[in-house]
Amino acid sequence: MQRTFHLVSLGCAKNRVDSEQMLAQLCMSGYVHVPTADGADAVVINTCGFIGPAKREAIDLIVEMADLKRQRRVSKIAVTGCLAQRYPKELWAELPEVDVLLGVFDSQKLVESLERAFGGERVLEVSDPETGTPVSRARMLTSEPGTAYLRISEGCDNCCAYCVIPGLRGRRRSIPPNALLQEARMLADLGVLELVLIAQDTTDYGGDIGTDLVSLLRALERIDGLRWIRLLYAHPARVTQALIRQMAESEKICRYIDIPMQHASESVLRRMGRPGHADDYLRLINNLRSAVDGVAIRSTFMVGFPGETPGDLDVLINFLTRAELDYAGFFAYSKEEGTRAFDFPDQVSYSEKRRRLSIVRSVQTGITLKKLKERLPSRQEVLCASSQDGTSRCRAAFQAPEVDGCVFVNAQLPPGKMHEVLLYKTRRLDVLGRVENP
């Protein structure tokens, strides 16, 4: 009999790519994917271990699966990804129900490891992240129809004071352009219209292998079938004039960029180990808006970093008001072992971090709503993600998947296809659109 499996992917889009590769690996080896864990021969949990809430989510899920295993409703449990990489000894000792534990660069051994587990072994394979080689592998897509992520590098060289990623995934290693182009062509042949470029720092791509992001973008633009190329996770110090010019001149690169700035107060940014300050970031934003007509700019900010004062928070709020970013995400600082910031003095209390988080989110919500209204009314192409009961959930080029809201259209449109619609009204932070006869 064929073995069945259920896979749960936690965390970021980069983790999603790992999960899609594991899905393909299992299915190509004869395993059958099932939609729920209950009754599966194997449950694979691809974990995130970046910050406290993500760790708790992963542990809670592993414990839930262990309970199913004790009830004989699950046979084997495999845990992969960042949490396994970060705490292998602890997980191995404290969760004996886990049959397979694989680090971030060991997932290619999943089928072999599961077969050993079905033979009665417990399998622990966690390699040194510095020895792991990022590669492009076969994938089974789990993203919205018509959309796929393309991970262009692994690891990170920035070594910010709060971040565990270099310890989990090693230093920056770029995937060679030929491999990425081959993967992108394969995705386009599968009907992918939107390619979302991701890495820990996409703008740092290529320096280790003699190329750069702009060269990669130019090559990707030549692939038939691709309509949108979207750029996420750009470091503010590496958004070059060449990159901005390429965005402005391209017919395929979305006029959209995600630039995680993390804060605006110079003193906070210095303690974080990040360059720049509010005025630098405002110049970059103004430069982008001057050069790239209609560009949508997204960023991410952290509040409650050790030593952040009420004055630093005021600097951030003032920056948000002046910058008028289209979108911004916010999260509270999480004290993580193995980071420089773990032992920093002047830690901010949990309740105060939550209070500050509420303030900045409220400020940005009003700004995002204002920026959305400035885009209306307008006719734009949208990519349909799903359709039900006469309404379609779509996205415009100024909306990234999963984070920026949607366009809801009053028509039953085929998912995975692009359609021209009239955007005419906001609904909270989403947009309403309608199909009109020519």
- Secondary structure (DSSP) of 138-200: -----SSTTEEEEE-EES-S---TT--HHHHH-S-EEPPHHHHHHHHHHHHHTT--EEEEE-S
* 168: confidence class by pLDDT, cuts 50, 70, 90: confident
Tokens of 73: 């409703």
- pLDDT for the residue numbered 13: 87
Do 348 and 410 fall into the same domain? Answer: no
The answer to the question of residue 141 being in a domain is no
The answer to the question of residue 196 being in a domain is yes
For residues 98 and 64, the answer to whether their CB atoms sit within 8 Å is no
Q: What is the pLDDT of residues 94-105, one digit of tens each?
A: 999 999 999 988
For residues 4 and 31, the answer to whether their CB atoms sit within 8 Å is yes
3-class secondary structure, 17? helix
* 351: confidence class by pLDDT, cuts 50, 70, 90: very high
Q: Domain of 403?
A: 378-434
Do 326 and 351 fall into the same domain? Answer: yes
Do 430 and 346 fall into the same domain? Answer: no
- pLDDT for the residue numbered 138: 84
pLDDT of 438 strictly over 70: no
Do 310 and 395 fall into the same domain? Answer: no
Domain boundary among 374, 392, 418: 374
Do 206 and 269 fall into the same domain? Answer: yes
The answer to the question of residue 352 being in a domain is yes
The answer to the question of residue 423 being in a domain is yes
Q: What is the pLDDT of residues 41-97, one digit of tens each?
A: 999 999 988 778 888 899 999 999 999 999 999 999 999 989 999 999 999 999 999
Average predicted confidence (pLDDT) for the chain: 93
Domain boundary among 97, 131, 165: 131
255-283 b/e (C-beta count within 10 Å ≥ 16 → b): bbbbbbbbbbbbebbebbebebbbebbee
The answer to the question of residue 92 being in a domain is yes
The answer to the question of residue 70 being in a domain is yes
Q: Among 209, 186, 280, 287, which residue's Cα sits nearest to residue 242?
A: 287
The answer to the question of residue 88 being in a domain is yes
Do 170 and 231 fall into the same domain? Answer: yes
Domain boundary among 131, 165, 186: 131
* 337: confidence class by pLDDT, cuts 50, 70, 90: confident
**pTM for this predicted structure:** 0.92
- pLDDT for the residue numbered 229: 98
Q: Among 10, 30, 29, 31, which residue's Cα sits nearest to residue 19?
A: 10
Q: How many domains does the chain have?
A: 3
- Inter-CA distances, 310 with 7, 132, 278, 306, 307, Å: 43, 42, 16, 12, 10
* Percent with pLDDT over 70 in the chain: 99
Do 318 and 382 fall into the same domain? Answer: no
- pLDDT for the residue numbered 116: 95
Q: Among 303, 296, 170, 148, which residue's Cα sits nearest to residue 234?
A: 296
pLDDT of 135 strictly over 80: no
The answer to the question of residue 10 being in a domain is yes
Do 407 and 318 fall into the same domain? Answer: no
**Torsion (CA) 22, 28, 29, 32 in degrees, nearest 10:** 80
Query: In which element (H, E) is residue 379 found?
Result: strand 378-388
Q: Among 180, 185, 192, which residue's Cα sits nearest to residue 142?
A: 192
- pLDDT for the residue numbered 53: 84
* 437: confidence class by pLDDT, cuts 50, 70, 90: low
Question: How many angstroms separate the CA atoms of 307 and 291, rounded?
Answer: 37
For residues 227 and 418, the answer to whether their CB atoms sit within 8 Å is yes
Do 222 and 284 fall into the same domain? Answer: yes
Q: Which residues lie closer than 8 Å to 278 by C-beta, 6 or more apart?
A: 264, 265, 266, 315, 318, 319, 322
Do 75 and 8 fall into the same domain? Answer: yes
Q: What is the CATH number of the domain that holds 430?
A: 2.40.50.140
Do 97 and 81 fall into the same domain? Answer: yes
Do 418 and 367 fall into the same domain? Answer: no
From the CB of residue 18, how many other CB atoms can be counted at a distance below 10 Å? 21
Q: What is the CATH number of the domain that holds 97?
A: 3.40.50.12160
Tokens of 343: 């032992």
Question: How many angstroms separate the CA atoms of 289 and 322, rounded?
Answer: 14
